[in-house]
Amino acid sequence: MTPVATPFFFYMLSGLAVAGGLLVVTRRNAVHSALSLIVTLLAVAGLYLMLYAPFVAGVQIIVYAGGIMVLFLFVIMLVSLERTIKERQFNRMWPVGLAASCALLALFLAVFEKGKKLFEDRPLPPLTENNNTQQIGLMLYGNYMFAFEIASLLLLVAILGAVIMAKKRI
């Protein structure tokens, strides 16, 4: 299936993702930040679809946008105090933090400039096969079976930990 209008969709989705990320770190109201993060997550899911990774896009929508963000919204509603909206937004160390982030950005730009010759940097041909999910399934249950089981153990431990920590009395 030939993709259509690829640059338009790429710039729209990445613009949405970066704009959402910017709103996450600059909004005073935590609920607005959560909504912007949802927009970012859905835009990144769209970018995964453009990268021919439909299963990861589906997992992103179900787990991240449909599960984790609901959890965030619940906790924001539980711990949100009236006075936090009227206080200062950025913490005491914000100049240091901003300087460190700028240093990180400079590092990224330097790496991109240096490494530009490593990439062939040509547009990739569109994929035609339709079995992404099947292949991921075969890999998960074949090569990476051990990591899969460890991930399920991790989730079990996380469930137990979250329940114990959020209970009123142990």
Partner 1 sequence: MVPITTIHYLVVAAALFVLGVIGVLTRRNVVIVLMSIELILNAVNLNLVAFSRMWGGLQGQVFSIFIVVDAAAEAAVGLGILIAFFRNKETINVDEIDLLKW
Partner 2 sequence: MLDSFMSYLGSTVTPGEANNQLWAMIYVLIIFAGVSVAVMAMNWLERKALAHFQVRLGPMRVGPHGLLQPIADAVKLLIKEDIIPAESDKFVFWIAPLIGLLASFTVYTVVPFGPSQAVSDMNIGILFMLGVSSLAVLGVVMAGWASNSHYPLIGALRSSAQMVSYEVAMGLAVVSAILMTSLHGAGLYGVAKLSDGTGTLSMIGIVQAQQEQQVWFLFKFFPLGLIAFVIFAIAMIAETNRAPFDLPEAESELTAGFHTEYSGLRWSLFMLAEYAAMIAVSSIAVTLWLGGWVRPFPHWLSGPTWDFIFALFPGLTFLGLGAIAFLGTVRMPKHAYFRVQTIGLAAFGAVLALIGVFLLAIVIGAKVSPHDILNRTTEGLSNVFWFVFKVAVFMYLYIWYRATWPRYRFDQLMRVGWKVMLPISLGVLIVTAIVGVLLG
| Residue 133 binding: pick among partner 1, partner 2, none (C-beta 5-8 Å cut-off by kind) | partner 2
Residue ranges in 75-114 that form contacts with partner 2 under rule CB under 8 A: 77
> Which one of residues 46, 86, 98, 114 is an interface residue with partner 1 (CB under 8 A)?
98
Cβ atoms 36, 25 nearer than 8 A: no
Cβ atoms 29, 73 nearer than 8 A: no
Q: How far apart are CA 72 and CA 35, in angstroms?
A: 10
* Mask for 11-50, x = binds partner 1 (CB under 8 A): ---x--xx--xx-xx-x--x--xx--x--xx--x--xx--
Distant-in-sequence, close-in-space partners of 91: CB < 8 Å, separation ≥ 6: 97
Cβ atoms 68, 162 nearer than 8 A: no
Q: How far apart are CA 155 and CA 76, in angstroms?
A: 22
Residue ranges in 110-139 that form contacts with partner 1 under rule CB under 8 A: 112, 116, 119, 121-124, 132, 135-136, 139
Q: How far apart are CA 72 and CA 70, in angstroms?
A: 5
| Residue 153 binding: pick among partner 1, partner 2, none (C-beta 5-8 Å cut-off by kind) | none
By CB under 8 A, name the binding residues for partner 2: 1-2, 4, 29, 31-32, 35, 38, 54-55, 57-59, 61-62, 65-67, 69-70, 73-74, 77, 130-134
